Structure 1
């Protein structure tokens, strides 16, 4: 009888150390790879901290401009609407007409009252009626020209309006003022022709004041554009009622737009007036525009901003939000290429070049270029 034994495979004692060695090497490589990731993240974090101070960049930018809420100075039904929503207008262009008839009746009544008053002194009121109407019309034009000049003057202080535009506005104001002076002189001459006993008579002065108010109210029935720009946010039709002090539409001065970028505090360290910037508008992806800083805001609201406790008059400590506070930085745009039409509140990415690091600014050029193409999908 033959004995059989199961044959067991021969185990090589060298296999176990090799497997253990391979596993150890794999763990070591994974650990190294993890270290490299942490090192790359740390370097990127340090780079962002450095660039936030030396070469700031923010996508919290908006196209800014003058906004005028067009509000009637009298109340009455609207008889005509002469523009449509989102249309361009010129300065002085008629927009809306309020029903004139009630105000024309008031003017006639005021003229009759003046005529009755002057007849008691055996004087003719026709000349003074005409002179007063001319003087009121001239005063309205002066008021409009002054408002236009003051708006441009404020923009010129920030460098957002050219000196030539400001000079044109000032010339228009001077012309309107000269016409008013001439009309006032004609009115004074007409008063003197009433005679020395009637020129300063309280009854006549009262009648003249009522006539002036009636003429002013009549002039307010015509609502005109305050400048060259765009009318928007309008939903009017003939028959709607216009109320004194209630806005009817919004005027946007699209001739003088600028960019307001909201910049974090730690990015303001090297920003100052006049430094160049590059801009990327969401409306024009793939294109880069240029400009320069004009003003830097001295205050900000929201995100834990300073607030007064009404109960004790003290400032509340702004500790509710860990996010960085942002301050407005205004940017004047360089002349835009033909065909580029910006819209109020359009989104803008702004890159600042304060001249603190040549290498940093070249890297910022790359980031700005990349971002200009990312706006295709934003």
Structure 2
């Protein structure tokens, strides 16, 4: 807009000087038509060249990544301490919020006791194997004795040296001892299976108890929330007394990160014909009138919402949008250390594609006029 006004004003002054001030030519209807035709085309040439070779956008904002602070707790828990001041930079790892940890400490103690019990049970399983093996040996010894007695009475009964009922008793004893051996062998196998229930040489009962202890410790650790990165809480709404837990669906705060901010500028699609990653950029941040920051094109977001269709049972409808979708360009800016780069800060951006360099000075004038105009714009004093 400033460029168009400047070119128009310059041409009007030029026409005035030629026809009225210096009177090199006599102004008439024919010269009026020619002057208008030349001026309109001159303005059009400049505007088209600037539009494609040095695209400009006043729809640009500073973007900083935000992290939603969401407590990971298993039950409603009371917020006891708020350890961070709003709008104050904190470093990664600093505590932000502390919750009541009474229930979670008890859960850890319970899990620790269960782990000790599981470790003792693993030792008991080893003794069960030994006892089962000894039971097999005893059953085998009893069977051998019974078989010996059975053979002895089988020789005595025909000779009249013993009664038939004694032989029958030892036959029954042999049968019973064989069953006892099968039972003892089964118990030994069962004890071995229980002992062999391991993962990487560790009893599964111990692994399960250790996992429950780790989970209890995890939730206990989460009763204190730490800063995930360098950054700050902007709007501090959480206060002691707030209850959070499994019934809360949203975050209690938004953490604005300090690292890797960028500007996201939107352009009409045709203006990006010659724009490429790495091209130099000038930025006029509204926060600092009269100053120009430098940067470069980091990425072009070749996608808009108008190009997305979500899965549904409805057939797509095609309607001409009121405005064509604009394409966003991500820009990294060289921000001086003594300057603030606020999230949501508004700016104007000019990209220099390297083509049409003879027109480049006009865009540089344009963005500087925009920056200086921020001293008085908007007129809401």
Class of the TM-score when normalised by the shorter of the 2 chains: 0.5 to 0.7
Instruction: Say whether residues 1:298 and 2:302 are aligned partners.
Output: yes
Q: Please list every run of 5 or more consecutive structure 2 residues that lacks an aligned counterpart in the other structure.
A: 1-26, 125-194
User: Structure 2: how far apart are the matches of 1:296 and 1:104?
Assistant: 50
Instruction: Say whether residues 1:251 and 2:255 are aligned partners.
Output: yes
> Alpha carbons of 1:250 and 1:35: their partners in 2 closer, same or farther (altered >3 Å)?
farther
> If each structure's helix is expressed as a fraction of its own residues, which one has the higher value?
2
- Equivalent of 1:283, from 280, 287, 299? 287
Write the deviation string for residues 128-182 of structure 1: whole angstroms up to 9, x where unpaired: xxxxxxxxxxxxxxxxxxxxxxxxxxxxxxxxxxxxxxxxxxxxxxxxxxxxxxx
> Alpha carbons of 1:309 and 1:87: their partners in 2 closer, same or farther (altered >3 Å)?
same
Alpha carbons 1:78, 1:241 under 8 Å: kept: yes
| Counterpart residue number, 2:274 | 270
TM-score of the two chains, using structure 2 as the length reference? 0.66
Runs of 4+ in structure 1 off by over 6 angstroms are: 28-35, 195-198
| Counterpart residue number, 1:221 | 223
Q: Give the count of matched residue pairs.
A: 275
User: Structure 1: how far apart are the matches of 2:360 and 2:330?
Assistant: 20
Instruction: Say whether residues 1:77 and 2:78 are aligned partners.
Output: yes
Per-residue deviation, 1:66: 1.5
Per-residue deviation, 1:270: 0.6
User: Structure 2: how far apart are the matches of 1:201 and 1:325?
Assistant: 61
| Counterpart residue number, 1:90 | 91
Aligned pairs for 1:1-378 within 5 A: 40=39, 43-74=42-73, 75=75, 76-121=77-122, 200-244=202-246, 245-301=249-305, 306-307=308-309, 310-314=312-316, 316-321=317-322, 323-334=323-334, 336-376=335-375, 377-378=377-378
> Alpha carbons of 1:250 and 1:114: their partners in 2 closer, same or farther (altered >3 Å)?
same
> Alpha carbons of 1:256 and 1:31: their partners in 2 closer, same or farther (altered >3 Å)?
same
> Alpha carbons of 1:240 and 1:309: their partners in 2 closer, same or farther (altered >3 Å)?
closer
User: Structure 2: how far apart are the matches of 1:92 and 1:214?
Assistant: 21
Per-residue deviation, 1:310: 3.7
User: Structure 2: how far apart are the matches of 1:49 and 1:318?
Assistant: 29
Alpha carbons 2:50, 2:360 under 8 Å: kept: no
Task: Find the residue that maps to 2:60 and give its secondary structure.
Answer: strand
Per-residue deviation, 1:368: 1.3
Task: Find the residue that maps to 2:360 and give its secondary structure.
Answer: helix
User: Structure 2: how far apart are the matches of 1:80 and 1:356?
Assistant: 58
Q: Please list every run of 5 or more consecutive structure 1 residues that lacks an aligned counterpart in the other structure.
A: 1-27, 124-194
> Alpha carbons of 1:361 and 1:318: their partners in 2 closer, same or farther (altered >3 Å)?
farther
Alpha carbons 1:88, 1:230 under 8 Å: kept: yes
Write the deviation string for residues 45-64 of structure 1: whole angstroms up to 9, x where unpaired: 45323321111111011111
User: Structure 2: how far apart are the matches of 1:345 and 1:64?
Assistant: 6
